[in-house]
Amino acid sequence: MQIFIASDHRGFALKGKLCADLLRAPIAGDTPVTVTDLGPKSYDPEDDYNDAARAVAKAVLNNIKIGKPDTFGILICGSAIGISIQANRFKGIRAAVAQDLEVAESSRSHNDANVICLSADRLTAAKDPLESEKAYEDLFAIVEKFLNTPFSKEARHLRRIKRLDKEI
- The Cα–Cα gap between 145 and 45 comes to 31
Q: Which member of 9, 110, 117, 157 is catalytic?
A: 110
Q: Confirm if 35 and 56 have CB atoms less than 8 A apart.
A: no
Asked if 19 is an active-site residue, the reply is no
| Closest C-alpha to 76, from 4, 23, 141 | 4
DSSP letter at 63? H
What residues does 12 pair with on adjacent strands? none
- The Cα–Cα gap between 97 and 80 comes to 6
Query: What torsion, rounded to 10 degrees, do the Cα atoms 103, 93, 8, 141 define?
Result: 30
Q: Which member of 19, 77, 117, 157 is catalytic?
A: 77
Asked if 157 is an active-site residue, the reply is no
Catalytic machinery residues: 77, 110
